[in-house]
Amino acid sequence: MTVDSLRKILELEQARGFPDRAVLGGVDKFLRNLTLADPRLVELRSASYSALDRRGREQWARHVLGQLERGDGKPRPPAPGAGDRAVVDRRLDSSVASLRGVGSNLASRFDKLGVKTVRHLLHFFPHRHVDYSQTRLISELAIDAEQTIAATVWEAAEKTNRNRRRSTEAIVGDESGNVRVVWFNQPYLAKKLTPNSRVVISGRVSEFHGRKVFLSPEWEPVESGDLTHTGRLVPVYPLTAGLSPRTVRRIVKATLDRCLPELPDFLPEAVRKRARLLSLPDAIRQAHYPDSELGKSQARRRLAFDELLVIQLGVLARKRAWQEERTSFAFDADARCLEPFLKSLPYSLTGAQKRALAEIQRDLKKQKPMHRLLQGDVGSGKTVVATAAMLLAAANGYQAALMAPTEILAEQHYKTIRGMLDKATGQCSDREGVSTYDSLLPRPVAVGLLTGGLKETFKQEMQARIASGEINVVIGTHALIQKGVDFAQLGLCVVDEQHRFGVMQRLELRSKGGSPHVLVMSATPIPRTLALTLYGDLDLSIINELPPGRVEIKTRWISPAQRQAAYDFVRREVAAGRQAFIICPLIEESEAIDARAATTEYERLSLNVFPELRLGLLHGRMSSSDKEEVMERFRSGDLDILVSTPVVEVGVDIPNATVMLIEGADRFGLAQLHQFRGRVGRGHHQSYCLLVADTPSAEAKERLSVLQRVRDGFVLAEEDLRLRGPGEFFGTRQSGLPDLKMARLTDMELLDLARSEAARLFEADPYLKQPEHAALAREVSRFWESEAELN
């Protein structure tokens, strides 16, 4: 397949009068294959030869032949200015309002979709495509299928129906027959569809009074020869109010035509060849306006590769930076100073906990900052390991900080840790929210709490005591990484439930110290290849064992009809001295709406269902002190049932609670449901997780049945990846992973490929300083900067 055969085919078409029969399968198909084989011909892709009438075909063929004549095989010379990087970059980074046809009004609509610059627009990929690529004869149209015709308009007129709704009705025809087309509520179309003009129509065919009719299909005139809305794989974009599908398609298409020819490819040619990837302009065009399913999947492969490569290069750079760092914090991590603490615990550490602690101790002894990920399923006992590490920091005269994703969890950690220390020392002096223990370590340990919800004066007082070094173990939330929080000598950072933080937030806590040791904790086990890519900069400790005596949680997915039975069950558990959580569905629109829904549910349950029991309410809109009070009452057994929004998802530890009843369970992802389930079964009592879903989708049903079957968090994580399947946005922002648009974390082949190419680049040019890597280096920093912005 060469340019030469294209010339022959067009000449043959010319000789025969343009019947589109000169090549088997038609000229369009030939062009598609040809342009995939020879990316220089990319502009021929969207020609839609078959949709043109005789004159159109003739003109087009003459145009292409003329250009082939000029001998470079390129239908159009590159746009002027291509290659002038600075100019191109400036153009790409200018606002979408700089595009022709985009005023400030449209620009503000795009802004709502996160599209601010021309570059964003190029990367504003469709959710999916509708396949309108097969053109049919009118006589072949089938009822109830998405189809495309190329036809001539015979007549078009505005009509008003009985309900006074105005519409456009047209009759169009091809050599096989005629068909009626109706556009509701679009009377103005009648004027655009001039008789005898050629149009392409794509849409669903219905039957009306025994006749076929297109109802409000997509359409466009043929004359451009370059189809946007019909007759091809047509992109379906995310929309927002005031932005119609047609407008978005038109603007994206014009931008591609305008910008792609001059878009430089940041990927070194050698990498692109080795990995068999499309060029960047090709990939972007194919992602929006693919020629075929093949083109689409090749586009996805290239763009996904880019994301993974860039992440990997960032991770490698971070790892190198960390390895080059030296710190004065080589702790004397002698286990002896931990002995009294470990001895005072009401249990002994599991083998896995001991191993993880030993690994941490080994790291802390080095003149190099630790960067360790502590992974262990919900309830595996990570908190006590982290506490031991923080005590080591304190024993060495340094400060330690633990950051948790919610106030409730920070509060709980504060209590748990104080509880452990109280027990270990038997004495504690409490002063203005700081608990000081004098006898445990060679020097005093003072524990303080810092969250956003605290009173301003109290917060300032706390900040001052952190800055002076008086407090050496600080527990908190995001409040810890705010401006104004300065540590005297931060030696260890612990980030709990790290998946709830962005990549950059995790690093921010660290930046509060010189080069402190870092321990991040996660209950989300992920497959090894993925861990190596995303956390390749961290060393890994795994707690793969639950404390002894845990009884397996029984998980039941029940129908709404069984709700009463579930309530009776809760009542029986409470009668037996246990407690229950009832989680209200996630509404997502806003925390305020969630809060209101939870309040209503709480009232209903208190008045109508459990009038004899003690219920508490918890939601994100409550003041810190109210939240704290409710949690405290629940913890101390003062409440039987805690009705809550999803704020209790992570970390909450109430060993006496045995029932987790989740309403609207279909609204949650598997990882989240597993976290909720992990709130019970933390003591010795048999525990239960009850899932209620009113109208679950097919996928939700699958998730719920997986959760019922699978208990192991690791297996569940793999199931989760499998279920998310192809094409879906991985809820990466939520999971604390970088924001991926194209990459699927299940695509192990591509993960491996990106990793090995990154390693190769890194080895050859670790700082990406060589001129041929300059564009790539910019891409890496662009990606990580946007990560930082989003966090």
Say how far apart CA 524 and CA 732 lie, in whole Å: 13
Q: Decide: is 655 part of the binding site for ligand ADP (CB under 6 A).
A: yes
Q: Which two tokens stand for residue 719?
A: 């199931």
Residue closer to ligand ADP (CB basis): 73 or 655:
655
The Cα 175–Cα 435 span in angstroms is 89
Strands (E) across 161-296 are located at 166-174, 177-184, 198-208, 211-215, 218-221, 233-236
Q: Residue 395's binding partner, choosing from Mg ion, ligand ADP, none, with beta-carbon cut-off 5 to 8 A by kind?
A: none
Per rule CB under 6 A, is residue 378 in the interface with ligand ADP? Answer: yes
CB of 406 to ligand ADP, least distance (A): 13
Residue 381 interacts, among ligand ADP, Mg ion, none and using kind-specific CB cut-offs from 5 to 8 Å, with ligand ADP
Return the residues of window 402-431 that contact ligand ADP according to CB under 6 A.
none
DSSP H or E stretch at residue 200: strand 198-208
- Least Å distance, CB 709 to Mg ion, is 24
User: Pairing state of beta strands 445-450 and 429-431?
Assistant: unpaired
- Least Cβ distance, residue 406 to Mg ion (angstroms): 11
**Nearer to ligand ADP among residue 281 and residue 379 (C-beta):** 379
Which positions from 597 to 636 touch ligand ADP by CB under 6 A, shown as an x/- string?
A: ----------------------------------------
**At how many degrees (to 10) do helices 382-395 and 351-364 cross?**
30
How many Å apart are CA 182 and CA 156, to the nearest integer? 10
Residue 381 binds ligand ADP (CB under 6 A): yes
Interface with Mg ion (CB under 5 A), residue total: 1
Instruction: Supply φ then ψ for residue 24, to 5 degrees.
Output: -60, 130
Answer whether 451's CB lies under 8 Å from 480's CB: no
Partner residues linked to 691 by β-bridges: 557, 662
Inter-residue contact 520 to 505 (CB < 8 Å): no
- 133 interface partner picked from ligand ADP, Mg ion, none, CB below 5 to 8 A per type: none
Say which amino acid occupies 771. Answer: P
Residue 448 vs 651, nearer CB to ligand ADP = 651
- Out of 376, 405, 491, 736, which residue is the one contacting ligand ADP (CB under 6 A)? 376
The least distance separating ligand ADP from the CB of residue 770, rounded to whole angstroms, comes to 45
Return the closest-CA partner of residue 584 out of 542, 625, 617: 617
In angstroms, the Cα distances linking 74 to 28, 35, 40, 44, 64 are 18, 11, 6, 10, 9
Judged by CB, which is closer to ligand ADP: 61, or 420?
Answer: 420
Is the CB of residue 369 less than 8 Å from the CB of residue 330? Answer: no
Residues 535 and 322: beta-carbon distance below 8 Å: no
Residue 719 pairs in a beta bridge with none
CB closer to ligand ADP out of 560 and 577:
577
Answer for the pair 433, 462: CB distance below 8 angstroms, yes or no: yes
Output the smallest distance, CB 577 to ligand ADP, in A: 18
* Contacts of 267 by beta carbon, 8 Å cutoff, 6+ apart: 277, 280, 306, 309, 776
405 binds Mg ion (CB under 5 A): no
For the chain, give percent helix, strand, coil, nearest 5: 45, 15, 35
- Three-class DSSP category at 148: strand
The partner in contact with residue 376, picked from ligand ADP, Mg ion, none with C-beta cut-offs of 5 to 8 angstroms by kind, is ligand ADP
User: Does 675 sit near ligand ADP (CB under 6 A)?
Assistant: no
Candidates 397, 547, 669, 731; binder of ligand ADP (CB under 6 A) is: 547
Interaction partner, residue 406 (ligand ADP, Mg ion, none; CB < 5-8 Å by kind): none
Pairing of strands 490-495, 473-476: unpaired
3-state class (DSSP) for residue 480: helix
Are the C-beta atoms of 381 and 353 separated by less than 8 Å? yes
Q: Where on the phi/psi map is residue 91: left (φ > 0), alpha (ψ -120 to 50), or beta? A: alpha
Residue 75 contact partner, candidates ligand ADP, Mg ion, none, CB within 5 to 8 A by sort of partner: none
Smallest distance, ligand ADP to C-beta of residue 413, A: 9
Distance, CA of 152 to CA of 193 (rounded, Å) = 10
In the bound state with Mg ion, the residue whose beta carbon lies nearer, of 369 and 381, is: 381
Nearer to ligand ADP, 167 or 579 (CB): 579
Question: Which listed range, 11-19, 155-163, 212-220, 649-657, lies at the site for Mg ion (CB under 5 A)?
Answer: 649-657
Quote the least distance from Cβ 511 to ligand ADP, whole Å: 25
Residue type, 517: H
Name the CA dihedral angle for 330, 496, 502, 677, rounded to a multiple of 10 degrees. Answer: 150
Using rule CB under 6 A, residue 380 touches ligand ADP? yes
Distance between CA 76 and CA 382 in Å, rounded? 62
Q: Does 384 bind ligand ADP (CB under 6 A)?
A: yes
Q: Looking at 35-43, 78-86, 348-356, 648-656, which segment touches Mg ion (CB under 5 A)?
A: 648-656
Shortest CB 552 distance to ligand ADP, Å: 15
Pick from 651, 678, 713, 736: which binds Mg ion (CB under 5 A)?
651
Residue nearest to ligand ADP (CB): 381
Q: Which does 378 bind (CB under 5 to 8 A by kind): Mg ion, ligand ADP, none?
A: ligand ADP
| Chain residues 291-350 in contact with ligand ADP, contact rule CB under 6 A | 347, 349-350
By rule CB under 5 A, what string of x and - marks binding of each residue 600-639 to Mg ion? ----------------------------------------
Q: How far is CA 175 from the centre of its chain?
A: 49
Cα–Cα distances in angstroms (integers) from residue 224 to residues 196, 228, 557, in the given order: 16, 10, 56
When CB distances are held under 5 to 8 angstroms depending on the partner's kind, the choice from ligand ADP, Mg ion, none that residue 524 binds is none
Q: Which of 279, 234, 258 minimizes the C-alpha distance to 119?
A: 258
Provide, rounded to whole angstroms, the least separation between the CB of residue 737 and Mg ion. Answer: 19
Using CB under 6 A as the binding rule, whether residue 682 contacts ligand ADP is answered as yes
* Residue (of 710, 728, 727) closest to 719 by Cα position: 710
Candidates 133, 255, 292, 383: give the one binding ligand ADP (CB under 6 A).
383
Residues 285 and 295: their CA atoms lie apart, in Å, by: 9
Ramachandran assignment for 455, one of left (phi > 0), alpha (psi -120 to 50 degrees), beta (any other): beta
- Cβ closer to ligand ADP: 444 or 655? 655
Residue 514 interacts with which of ligand ADP, Mg ion, none, CB < 5 to 8 Å by class: none
399 binds, among ligand ADP, Mg ion, none (CB under 5 to 8 A by kind): none
- Contact code string over 556-595 relative to ligand ADP, x by CB under 6 A: ----------------------------------------
The answer to whether 172 and 152 have CB atoms below 8 angstroms apart is yes
The one-character DSSP state at 209 is: T
Return the SS3 of 135.
strand
Which of 13, 307, 653, 757 contacts ligand ADP by CB under 6 A? Answer: 653
User: How far, in Å, CA of 776 to CA of 310, rounded?
Assistant: 8
3-state secondary structure of 558: strand
Question: Judged by CB, which is closer to ligand ADP: 205, or 357?
Answer: 357
Q: Mask of contacts with ligand ADP, 353-372, x by CB under 6 A?
A: x-------------------
Decide whether 307 or 653 has the Cβ nearer to ligand ADP.
653
Q: Does 379 bind ligand ADP (CB under 6 A)?
A: yes
Q: Which stretch binds Mg ion (CB under 5 A): 328-336, 530-538, 610-618, 644-652?
A: 644-652
From the list Mg ion, ligand ADP, none, partner contacted by residue 203 (C-beta under 5 to 8 A by kind): none
Q: Which is nearer to ligand ADP, 296 or 674 (CB)?
A: 674
Distance of alpha carbon 225 from alpha carbon 50, whole angstroms: 9
Where does this chain bind Mg ion (CB under 5 A)? 651
Residues in contact with ligand ADP by CB under 6 A are 347, 349-350, 353, 376, 378-384, 523, 547, 653, 655, 682
